[in-house]
Structure 1
Amino acid sequence: MFTDIPWTELSEKRLHKPVTLIDVRSPGEFGNATIPGSVNIPLFNDEERAEVGTIYTQVGTEAAKERGLELVSAKLPAFIKQFSAIPGDKVVFCWRGGMRSKTTATVLSLMGIYSQRLAGGYRAYRQWVTEQLDTLAFSPTPIVLQGSTGSGKTEMLLRLKQEGLPVIDLEGMAGHRGSIFGGIGLRPNNQKTFDSLLLDALIAYRDEPFVLFEAESKRVGKIVVPDVLYGSRSRGYQITVELPVEVRAVQILRDYEPWKHEQACIASFSRIRERIHTPIAAEIEGCLRTGRFQPAVELLLKHYYDPLYAHSTAAALDSGIRIMTVTADSIDSAYAEVKRAIESITRNALAH
Structure 2
Amino acid sequence: MFQDISIEKLNELRGKNEITVIDVRSPSEYAESTIPGSINIPFFTDEERAEIGTLYKQVSIQTAKERGLEIMSAKLPAFVKKFAEIQGNKAVFCWRGGMRSRTTATVLSLMGIHVYRLDGGYRAYRRWVVETLGTMEFPPEVYVLHGYTGTGKTEILRALKDKGYPVVDLEGLAGHRGSIFGEIGLRSHNQKTFDALLLEELLRYRHEPFILIEAESKRIGKVILPEFLIDKKEKGTHILLDAATDLRVRNIINDYGPTEHAEQSLQAFRQIKSRIHTPVAQEIETCLLSGNYERAVELLLAYYYDPRYAHTASSYGEEFQKLEPISFDTLEQAVPLVEEHIRKLSSRNRLNRQEQPGA
TM-score (norm. length: structure 1): 0.97
What is the alpha-carbon distance in structure 1 between the residues aligned to residue 284 and residue 313 of structure 2? 25
User: C-alpha deviations, 1:274-297, integer Å up to 9, x for none?
Assistant: 111111111111000000000100
Aligned to 1:284: 284
| Structure 1 Cα separation of the partners of residues 316 and 252 of structure 2 | 24
SS of 1:167's equivalent?
coil
Separation in 2 of the partners of 1:322 and 1:129?
38
**1:181 corresponds to which residue?**
181
Matched to 2:217, the amino acid is: S
- Equivalent residue of 1:207, what SS? coil
How many angstroms apart in 2 are the aligned matches of 1:327 and 1:317? 21
Are positions 1:332 and 2:332 aligned together? yes
RMSD over equivalenced CA pairs, Å: 1.4
Cα distance in 2 for partners of 1:258, 1:101 equals 44
Aligned to 2:275: 275
- 1:117 is aligned to 2:99: no
Question: Equivalent residue for 1:82?
Answer: 82
**TM-score, scaled to structure 2:** 0.95
CA deviation map 1:209-251 (0-9, x unaligned): 0000100000001110111212101332111111111110000
Is this contact kept in 1: 2:177–2:183, CA < 8 A? yes
Letter in structure 1 aligned against 2:28: G
- Matched position secondary structure for 2:241: strand
Q: How far, CA to CA, are the matches of 1:113 and 1:193 in structure 2?
A: 30
Q: Does 1:46 align with 2:55?
A: no
Alignment of 1:231 onto 2:231: yes
**Unpaired segments of 5 or more residues in structure 2?**
354-359
Structure 1, 322-331 or 299-308: larger mean CA deviation: 322-331
- Distance in 1 (CA, whole Å) between partners of 2:191 and 2:254 is 27
For residues 89 and 210 of structure 2, the distance between their equivalents in structure 1, rounded to whole angstroms, comes to 34
Determine if the alignment matches structure 1 residue 105 to structure 2 residue 105.
yes
Equivalence for 1:136: 136
- Structure 1 counterpart of 2:187, which letter? R
Query: Given that residues 23 and 94 in structure 2 are in contact (C-alpha distance below 8 angstroms), is that contact kept between their aligned partners in structure 1?
Result: yes
SS at match of 2:186: coil
The CA deviation at 1:61 is 1.4
Shift of 1:318: 5.9
Q: Structure 2: which amino acid aligns with 1:282?
A: Q
Task: Give the aligned partner of residue 31 of structure 1.
Answer: 31
Asked whether the 8 Å contact 1:234–1:319 carries over to 2, the reply is: no
1:344 corresponds in structure 2 to: 344
Instruction: Give the C-alpha shift of residue 62 in structure 1.
Output: 1.1
The share of aligned pairs that are identical, in percent, is 53
Which residue of the partner structure matches residue 163 of structure 1? 163
Give the aligned length: 352
